[in-house]
């Protein structure tokens, strides 16, 4: 329980941006806003997850996942049909993979703002830094190799296909433990950084990470890597969970007062009142 | 789980009583909603799979012993009864009785878990494994994911016992929150039992 729960007598007064054009307000916020790093990390998160969806589902078209039971000629044809999409999509994925750093930093920051040991934030930071490897990069590398070497033995292309999807869908342990770390931190936190229901939603998310483990065993059915339970239901939970923590992180930044102790609640907005955020100001 | 923020001198059984609409933390009811929706998804997938291969499912279901399913259900219903008595006793300030009922709940939970493991062993000896067919894939999946909920329930009950143990803690809201989780585990089992064992 590292930070004390007592507030200093003096709390931070938020400087107001000058009136003028949206660009002027944006530039002022960019240079002077006391929460600019937090808002930067939050916007990186929003942009990253938006790009992640577009690149995986629309550009490379590797999601929703194809069948694990396909024959080698079908897999080779699948790679051929997505050749340019995979190269363009995963090319951008490699470029944006560095965006994970500020995202993970913001998540760890939220845990540092809690009344819990720093161990939680550090554990989460390390785990989610590692999670980019199975959750994104291994698949991107394997798919790109398959697309760039179409002349290789079809059996090797099929191996890359299995390797890519199993690494993507079947290595959820790091995400499960990460969700559990967040769950415990939220439940024992006294500063009210996140609502308790989000802690319980983390438990739901962690349990769905367990469900994908049978994807290593089954090539057909509901528990295969493209199955109704292992992929479709899990994806609904993951999207709900991700949207929830993005919104809650935004609220956390709005409430942040840069002191220790409980986060203050936001004042009730009157109609037409401007929000005190870079997002709203810009 | 623990809301240690509530540790203060006010008697816990009286805290926030007038403002409460549901037993325990409202957040736990959000969890109940999440879990219900999640399992509704699993049950829907099971029912759709069943309609696609009704003969196989009926044949496979005949390998399950309805008596074991009934025994499992009675064990969990008794555990729910015990936790309800625990909550009632805690509300009345009878913490010794509440502790006894909490341990009774844990005991019934262990009986459930043991009988479930024995049933799995029996099915595996009969040659019905996780990969045997679609029905047993669902059977092992749903019973396993439920057993993980039971194991988490033991942790939750551990928090409940910890709360009841010392007069310095004893948050009634936390006791009811833990009970809500355990009732959810019971509720989900009743649905799994009906789907896997009863619906033919």
Phi-psi region of A49 (alpha: psi -120 to 50; beta: other; left: phi over 0): alpha
> How many degrees, rounded to 5, is the angle at CA B162 between CA B157 and CA B163?
95
Residue A44's CB: how many other CB atoms inside 10 A? 19
Residue A265's CB: how many other CB atoms inside 10 A? 9
Interchain proximity A221–B134, CB inside 8 Å: yes
Q: Which residues of A touch B34 (CB under 8 A)?
A: 200-201, 204
Query: Residue A78: inside a domain, yes or no?
Result: yes
- Return the pLDDT at A175: 86
Query: Residue A51: inside a domain, yes or no?
Result: yes
Number of H helices, E strands in chain B: 6, 0
- Return the pLDDT at B19: 58
Residues A228-238 have pLDDT tens digits of 999 999 999 99
Q: Which residues of B touch A233 (CB under 8 A)?
A: 38, 41-42, 45
Q: Which residues of B touch A200 (CB under 8 A)?
A: 27-28, 30-31, 34
Element (H, E) at B41: helix B26-52
Q: Which residues of A touch B7 (CB under 8 A)?
A: none
**pTM score:** 0.85
**By the CB < 8 Å criterion, does A7 face chain B?**
no
Query: Residue A24: inside a domain, yes or no?
Result: no
Closest by alpha carbon to B25, among B195, B180, B193?
A: B180
Contacts of A77 by beta carbon, 8 Å cutoff, 6+ apart: none
Shortest CA distance from A241: residue in chain B: B34
- Let me know: does A222 contact A229? Beta carbons within 8 Å: yes
Q: Which residue has the tokens 């829907």?
A: B44
The answer to whether residue B90 scores a pLDDT higher than 70 is: yes
Closest by alpha carbon to B107, among B69, B141, B81, B89?
A: B81
Residues B105-161 have pLDDT tens digits of 999 999 999 999 999 999 999 999 999 999 999 999 999 999 999 999 999 999 999
The answer to whether residue B1 scores a pLDDT higher than 50 is: no
Closest by alpha carbon to A140, among A185, A93, A106?
A: A93
- Return the pLDDT at A16: 73
- pLDDT < 70 stretches in chain A: 1-15, 268-282
Tell me how many domains chain A contains. 1
- Return the pLDDT at B160: 94
Residues B100-109 have pLDDT tens digits of 999 999 999 9
Query: Residue A194: inside a domain, yes or no?
Result: yes
Per residue, the 3-state secondary structure of chain A, as one string, reads CCCCCCCCCCCCCCCCCCCCCHHHHHHHHHHHCCCHHHHHHHHHHHHHHHHHHHHHHHHCCCCCCCCCCCCHHHHHHHHHHCHHHHHHHHHHHHHHHHHHHHHHHHHHHHHHCCCCCHHHHHHHHHHHHHHHHHHHHHHHHHHHHHHHCCCCCHHHHHHHHHHHHHHHHHCCHHHHHHHHHHHHHHHHCCCCCCCHHHHHHHHHHHHHHHHCHHHHCCCCCCCCCCCHHHHHHHHHHHHHHHHHHHHHHHHHHHHCCCCCCCCCCCCCCCCCCCCCCHHHHC
The answer to whether residue B6 scores a pLDDT higher than 50 is: no
| Domain residue limits at A172 | 34-262
Which tokens in the block code for residue B14?
């009286």
Interface ipTM above 0.85:
no
Residues B159-199 have pLDDT tens digits of 999 999 988 888 899 999 999 999 999 999 999 999 999 98
Q: Can you state the percent helix, strand and coil of chain B, rounding each to 5? A: 80, 0, 20
The span from the CA of A235 to the CA of A256, in Å, is 31
Suggest the residue from B52, B57, B137 to mutate for an interface test with chain A (most A CBs closer than 10 A). B137
Q: Tell me the domain boundaries of chain B.
A: 29-198
**By the CB < 8 Å criterion, does B137 face chain A?**
yes
- Return the pLDDT at B167: 84
Q: What is the CATH number of domain B29-198?
A: 1.20.120.80
Query: Residue A200: inside a domain, yes or no?
Result: yes
SS3 label, residue B2: coil
Query: Residue A53: inside a domain, yes or no?
Result: yes
- Let me know: does A63 contact A57? Beta carbons within 8 Å: yes
Shortest CA distance from A229: residue in chain B: B42
- Return the pLDDT at A21: 82
Reported confidence tier of residue B9, pLDDT bands at 50, 70, 90: very low
């Amino acid at each position: 329980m590292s930070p004390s729960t007592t507030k200093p007598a003096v709390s931070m007064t938020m400087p107001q941006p000058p009136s003028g054009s949206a660009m002027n307000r944006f530039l002022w916020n960019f240079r002077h806003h006391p929460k600019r790093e937090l808002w930067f990390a939050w916007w990186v998160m929003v942009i990253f997850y938006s790009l992640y969806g577009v690149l995986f589902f629309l550009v490379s078209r590797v999601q929703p996942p194809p069948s694990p039971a396909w024959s080698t000629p079908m897999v080779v044809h699948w790679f051929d049909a997505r050749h340019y999409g995979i190269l363009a999509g995963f090319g951008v994925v490699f470029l944006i993979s560095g965006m994970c750093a500020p995202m993970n930093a913001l998540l760890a920051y939220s845990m540092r703002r809690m009344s819990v040991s720093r161990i939680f934030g550090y554990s989460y930071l390390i785990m989610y830094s590692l999670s980019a490897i199975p959750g994104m990069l291994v698949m991107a590398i394997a798919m790109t190799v398959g697309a760039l070497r179409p002349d290789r033995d079809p059996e090797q292309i099929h191996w890359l296909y299995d390797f890519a999807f199993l690494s993507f869908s079947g290595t959820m342990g790091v995400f499960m433990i990460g969700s559990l770390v967040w769950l415990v931190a939220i439940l024992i936190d006294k500063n009210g950084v996140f609502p308790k229901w989000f802690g319980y939603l983390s438990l739901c998310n962690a349990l769905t990470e367990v469900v994908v483990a049978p994807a290593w065993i089954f090539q057909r059915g509901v528990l295969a890597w493209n199955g109704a339970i292992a992929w479709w239901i899990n994806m609904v939970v993951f999207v709900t969970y991700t949207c929830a923590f993005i919104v809650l992180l935004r609220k956390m930044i709005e409430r942040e007062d840069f002191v220790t102790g409980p986060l203050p609640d936001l004042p009730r907005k009157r109609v037409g009142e401007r929000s005190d955020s870079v997002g709203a100001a810009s | 789980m623990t809301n240690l923020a509530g540790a203060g001198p006010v008697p816990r059984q009286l805290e926030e009583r007038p403002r409460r609409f549901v037993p325990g933390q409202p957040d736990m009811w959000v969890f109940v909603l999440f879990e219900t929706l999640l399992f509704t998804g699993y049950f829907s997938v099971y029912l759709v799979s069943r309609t696609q291969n009704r003969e196989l499912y009926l044949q496979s279901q005949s390998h399950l012993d309805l008596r074991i399913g009934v025994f499992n259900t009675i064990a969990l219903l008794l555990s729910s009864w015990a936790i309800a008595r625990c909550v009632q006793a805690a509300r009345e300030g009878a913490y010794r009785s509440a502790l006894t009922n909490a341990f009774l709940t844990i005991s019934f939970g262990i009986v459930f878990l043991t009988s479930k493991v024995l049933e799995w062993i029996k099915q595996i000896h009969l040659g019905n494994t996780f990969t045997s067919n679609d029905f047993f894939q669902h059977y092992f999946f749903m019973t396993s994911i439920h057993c993980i909920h039971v194991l988490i329930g033991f942790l939750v009950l551990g928090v409940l016992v910890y709360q009841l143990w010392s007069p310095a803690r004893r948050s009634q809201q936390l006791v009811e929150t833990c009970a809500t989780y355990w009732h959810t585990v019971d509720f989900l089992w009743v649905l799994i039992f009906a789907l896997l064992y009863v619906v033919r």
